[in-house]
Amino acid sequence: MTAVKKGLWTDDEDAFLLTWEGIGADFVASHDLGRADGAGTARMRKLIASGAAEKFAQAQKLICEYRLLAGLCRSAFAQEATQDDAEQWEEKAGRWRLSREEQTA
């Protein structure tokens, strides 16, 4: 039996959870991060309620835009993939903002 992680979440764990939450926050938290069952949903609720999830998504979008503007995407495929990533992060930021607003309404 594998030990379950407890305690504070790290920046890396939050980033991994926020990046892959679309496949299931609890699955990612327990399977990939070694957290207890239900920990992913609980952490996502906290990150959304605080606005941290939205800010993370906005930051990821800005990183994509930087890569495009700096010429770091050297092929048409890389440019298109990075643009798609930016759009996905923008969509996540909007979804998480709406979720936060609904929680506080």
Q: Domain range spanning residue 31?
A: 1-50
| Domain shared by 42 and 12, yes or no | yes
What is the pTM (predicted TM-score) of this model?
Answer: 0.91
Q: Which residue, 26, 50, 74, sits at the end of a domain?
A: 50
CB 18 within 8 A of CB 48: no
Same domain, 34 and 73: no
- Shared domain for 44 and 57, answered yes or no, is no
Kind plus residue range of the DSSP H or E element containing 78: helix 76-104
Q: Where are the alpha helices (DSSP H) in 5-72?
A: 11-20, 25-27, 39-50, 52-69
State the pLDDT at residue 6.
84
Do both 64 and 94 map to the same domain?
yes
Same domain, 10 and 42: yes
Are 42 and 57 found together in one domain?
Answer: no
The pLDDT assigned to 2 comes to 61
User: Is 1 a residue whose pLDDT tops 60?
Assistant: no
Same domain (yes/no): 32, 65? no
Same domain? For 84 and 44 the reply is no
Counting the structural domains of the chain, the total is 2
* Whether pLDDT at 20 is above 70: yes
